[in-house]
Structure 1
Amino acid sequence: MTNHKPIVYIIDDDSAIRDSLALMMEQENIDVQSFESASAFLNAYQSDYSGCIILDVYMPEMDGMQLQKKLSQSNILLPIIFLTGHGDIPMSVKTIKAGAMDFLTKPVTRKKLLDCVRSAFLEDKKRVNEVAHIHNQDMVSRLAKLSDREREVMILVVQGNSNKEIASCLGISHRTVEIHKSRIMHKTGAINLIDLARIAHEGGLLC
């Protein structure tokens, strides 16, 4: 889960608009990244992006509404604020129904835009926290499949103990440790010991 400072992602084919918006955000100590096209944003996108998008409607190749649809289909749920000089009511209704935070027409007041951005940041933080909660609950459910002995072995494994040390600590055979480890990997879905340690931490088995 991301702990990054939220960023405003400006997507507009007009460089003057991009620069103006970026300056406004920077003056408010808000981090910003600018993109000249929808495809430029999609190519740069990473799963840990957080914050919101300020999106123009009319752009060459892929317009803002097409990008909104593409993001939704790709389960990219960053809040979107549309900002356009040529909007109308049917267009605004369509984008809001499709999940946009707001639909603003240029010129827009500084206060209005910044209020929208801050509301979008709060919405995205809520989304990220919900995703993190669901993820952690998944880790907890995986650990719940383990027996008490398997949990003991798992703790010792992720603490870096060898099979021999675990066997000695728990008073069991080396072979029994191997069997427990195999069952632990299967039940938790861990692909390696690093992944197992991550599951242990995120599931609350280790502090």
Structure 2
Amino acid sequence: MRAIAIIDDDVAVRDALTLLFETRDWNAEAFDSAEDFLARAHPPAYGCLVIDVRMTGISGLELFDRLKAQPYLPPVIFLTGHGDVPMAVAAVKEGAADFLEKPCDHRTLVAKVEAALTDDAANRSDWEARQNLNVRLSELTPREREVLRELLAGKLNKQIADVLDISIKTVEVHRARIYTKLRVRSAVELAALLKDVPLAEITTQ
């Protein structure tokens, strides 16, 4: 299980949360500011980020906005004072996992972090699979992309040959190369692999 990052400018909070998570046998790393986290940490390496909304310097919300530019952002749980609840709610609408008011119930926080770590494992697996697929798609030539588009439309080799004005033999060669590069063995496997990928994205990379 990946470590949890605690980002809070209150040393008492950092120490308490670090101890709390360690009692669950979770690795935790504490940072005393958003600047400290940005300077020393690689955000995707963590399974969950616990961030104070209001901090000196870069605020928790500003940090969240910056982190959204990362290729992969683990679940973020905000800790907030009562007056900052509307901002935390807005952050959840922008993609944060959850928020808790300070002082928060430790059992509730542990449950939310546990859920975030579970979500991270699933989301990270999906993201890594998509990244792997993007790499394979990038290996296709422009002509192979054209053939792929027609294959996904359910057309037969002869129909593809007519549309692209190439020979059936050439279609067969491109089709074989597409299967090899995308690591599939049939049109059914090809369709299943790309079912969640927009056609425009497949054919215009």
Alignment of 1:57 onto 2:39:
no
State the match for 2:172 in structure 1: none
State the match for 1:165 in structure 2: none
After superposition, residues 73-112 of structure 1 pair within 5 angstroms as: 73-112=69-108
After superposition, residues 17-32 of structure 1 pair within 5 angstroms as: 17-32=13-28
Q: Is the 8 A contact 1:8 1:51 kept in 2?
A: yes
In the superposition, relative to structure 1, how do residues 74 and 142 fare at CA in structure 2: closer, same or farther (>3 Å)?
A: closer
In the superposition, relative to structure 1, how do residues 87 and 121 fare at CA in structure 2: closer, same or farther (>3 Å)?
A: farther
User: After TM superposition, which residue ranges in structure 1, 4 or more long, deviate above 6 angstroms?
Assistant: none
State the match for 1:45 in structure 2: 41
State the match for 2:115 in structure 1: 119
In the superposition, relative to structure 1, how do residues 89 and 60 fare at CA in structure 2: closer, same or farther (>3 Å)?
A: closer
In the superposition, relative to structure 1, how do residues 10 and 108 fare at CA in structure 2: closer, same or farther (>3 Å)?
A: same
Residue 30 of structure 2 aligns to a residue whose secondary structure is strand
**1:11 aligned to which of 2, 7, 11:** 7
Q: TM-score w.r.t. structure 1 length?
A: 0.63
Identity %: 35
Code of the aligned partner of 1:6: R
Q: Is the 8 A contact 2:43 2:73 kept in 1?
A: no
Structure 2: runs of 5 or more not aligned = 142-176, 184-205
Q: TM-score w.r.t. structure 2 length?
A: 0.63
Q: Is the 8 A contact 2:3 2:48 kept in 1?
A: yes
Residue 124 of structure 2 aligns to a residue whose secondary structure is helix
Supply the distance in 2 between the matched residues of 1:82 and 1:9 (Cα, whole angstroms).
12
Shift of 1:143: 6.4
Alignment of 1:33 onto 2:29:
yes
Shift of 1:59: 0.7
Q: Is the 8 A contact 1:6 1:31 kept in 2?
A: yes
Alignment of 1:128 onto 2:128:
no
After superposition, residues 102-181 of structure 1 pair within 5 angstroms as: 102-141=98-137
Alignment of 1:70 onto 2:66:
yes
Supply the distance in 1 between the matched residues of 2:27 and 2:106 (Cα, whole angstroms).
16
Supply the distance in 1 between the matched residues of 2:18 and 2:85 (Cα, whole angstroms).
27
- 1:16-43 CA-partner distances (Å, limit 9, x unpaired): 1100000000001011000000011111
Q: Is the 8 A contact 1:87 1:105 kept in 2?
A: no
**C-alpha RMSD over aligned residues:** 2.5
Code of the aligned partner of 1:133: A
How many residues align structurally?
A: 146
